[in-house]
Amino acid sequence: MKALIAGGGIGGLIAALFLHRIGIDAEIFERAGDIRELGVGINILPHAVKELAALGLQADLDARGIRTHELIYANRFGQVVWQELRGIEAGHLHPQYSIHRGKLLGLIHKAVIERLGREIIRTGWQVDGFRQSGGRVSVELSSRDGGRAHSSGDLLIGADGIHSTVRARLFPQEGPPIWNGVMLWRGCTSWPTWRDGRAMAIAGGNFAKFVFYPIAADAAQPGGRLTNWAVMARTGIPGTAPLRREDWSRPGILAEVLPFVRERFRLDFVDPAEIIRATPTFYEYPNCDRNPLDGWSFGRVTLLGDAAHPMYPVGSNGASQAVLDARSLADNLVSETSVEAALAAYDAERRPATSAIVLANRAGGPEGVIDMVESRAPDGFDDIEAIASRDEREAIVRGYARLAGFESRSRTGRV
């Protein structure tokens, strides 16, 4: 059996590894000219790390990332709203990793080449269309230099991101992604170690948030960390089109992001303006998603990752959910009697869960805990319990973890 995979990002490559493990060949079509280690920091949650460990990739994660063990939510003055352990320290059987997206992609790409062969990845080609007939799927391909080609297989997986051409063929009336009016700027740079070098902080509230966490040991600064930062700020009207099209590789503009942090944040662990200025290149991206679908498997064609359920980057869930998609798809291809039945079962298993996360992220996700506190105490507080009880705060953070499938085994919130 052979799977055709549109998209050579994290979701597409992980899918190829899981399919290979159950004896299914793969052919991957990636529109970019090569697979490069681009991007900034992301987090992989314990339930997804479990699946990556099953593929033999945990040692690579340890070599390239950081085992995040603590998460702190704070207001814009640095006052702690909620604090909890993460990963193994929180009672999970697997760690949470903070890692450079490019390094994660690189280690997965390396595993695909070693196990399936370099030739199965066709860079510079994208899937433009497909047709199902006689128990097969054929795809129409176009290359960056204007070439045309065809390929065929037993199933097609659209793992080609928020601008998926496979999804567009399945839902031609859907239109562009939906912007919520929030702009996201992200970068990483060498920075002194904070706390024990394994802690993550999310500060701010409704108007603007600042995210700060290490993603690797820093060879350029002994004892330091390669540190990821992000700023999320409302710059437009929800439902309107962003000024610039969604593109993860678009450089950010210093003069556009600094006004959202310069006077607003007073954090004792980092000056957001200082770390932003110290970052040679950073990136901007409008906070976009798409409405959940009523179905994403049709015969021998299905969707995976951001092509299936693009979501706002809150809750550290995007890449993790793509990994869970890939495992579910492979499991159902083993347990069901036909490709069509397997894709339908995968749809039934993963679509409701990811749709719920998309909607929860629209409502603020776990970061809603600092939104709530800021709305009640915009100028700070003397006693967090007087603003929001522990049970109320815990309901937001733990409720999201339960929904997303990574609730810890122990009660670790300490504030």
Distances from the Cα of 270 to the Cα of 146, 183, 194, 229, 288, angstroms: 49, 21, 9, 10, 28
**Which runs of E-coded beta strand occur in 54-198?**
66-68, 70-74, 80-85, 96-100, 121-123, 125-133, 136-143, 148-153, 155-158, 178-191
- Range of weakest confidence among 94-98, 285-289, 349-353, 374-378: 285-289
Residue 410 has pLDDT above 60, yes or no: no
Query: What CA–CA distance (Å, rounded) separates 31 from 122?
Result: 9
Checking DSSP bridges between strand 155-158 and strand 301-303, what pairing results, if any?
A: parallel
- Record the pTM: 0.94
Q: Which long-range CB contacts under 8 A does 249-258 form with residues at least 24 apart?
A: 249/38, 249/283, 250/283, 250/284, 250/285, 251/281, 251/282, 251/283, 251/284, 252/185, 252/186, 252/187, 252/282, 252/283, 252/284, 253/284, 256/183, 256/185, 256/284, 257/185, 257/231, 257/233, 257/282, 257/284
Mean pLDDT of 375-393: 97
How many Cβ atoms from other residues are within 10 Å of residue 248's Cβ? 16
Rounded to the nearest integer, the mean pLDDT of the chain is 94
Q: Pick the residue with more confidence: 144 or 200?
A: 200
Output the pLDDT for position 133. Answer: 95
Domains of the chain: 2-37+102-176+292-362 (3.50.50.60)
pLDDT tens-digit map of 25-49: 999 999 999 999 988 999 999 999 9
